[in-house]
Amino acid sequence: MHNPSKWVDPFGLSGTSKVISDANSWNRFQARSAGGMFKSRTEAAKAYHLWKKQDWAALEKMMPPGSWPPNNGFVTVEHVVLQPGTKIDRYGGWLDKNGKFNDTGSFVAPAGASFESRALQQSALEKPYTVYEVIKPISAEGGSAIPWFGQPGMGMQYDFQKYGHNIQTLIDGKFIKKIP
């Protein structure tokens, strides 16, 4: 659907969530898979093949236990712009020795998305859960989460890292505000 304003509907109800196609080629797959994730180009090629086939169980099995999925955890990725009023949330962050909340993570989901759809490690449930509202438009990578860690995944996730942001920089820049 044509979307000249690049508005993002996080639940996909209006059909405007897909704004800019970002084909997931071999080069993009490698760039989005953490450096050193694969021991060889052959291993990376095998992972890429499994990822293209969406054989998530076989892909996870070939990775070391507890490893995050390749391609930054995305099934497919697109550039999106989260608009003011959008509510997002995440499990993450910590309190420093002075009791100040800090969060340098860069992944969020639409507020209220199920834990299972995020395909996070169970230990993420021990982290603070925080809801934010977008105040200024924010560029992000968006797409479905690869099923992983025994979770079904496939929920929408957004990552701000490519655009130089994390939760703390977005708070400090007044792009997002915490919702009590």
Which of the residues are catalytic?
A: 90, 157
Q: What is the CA angle 44-49-53, rounded to 5?
A: 145
| Structural element, H or E, at residue 32 | helix 26-32
Cα separation, 3 vs 19, in Å, equals 6
Q: Is 147 in a helix, a strand, or coil?
A: coil
CA 167 to chain centre: 12
Cβ neighbour number for residue 123 with a 10 Å cutoff: 10
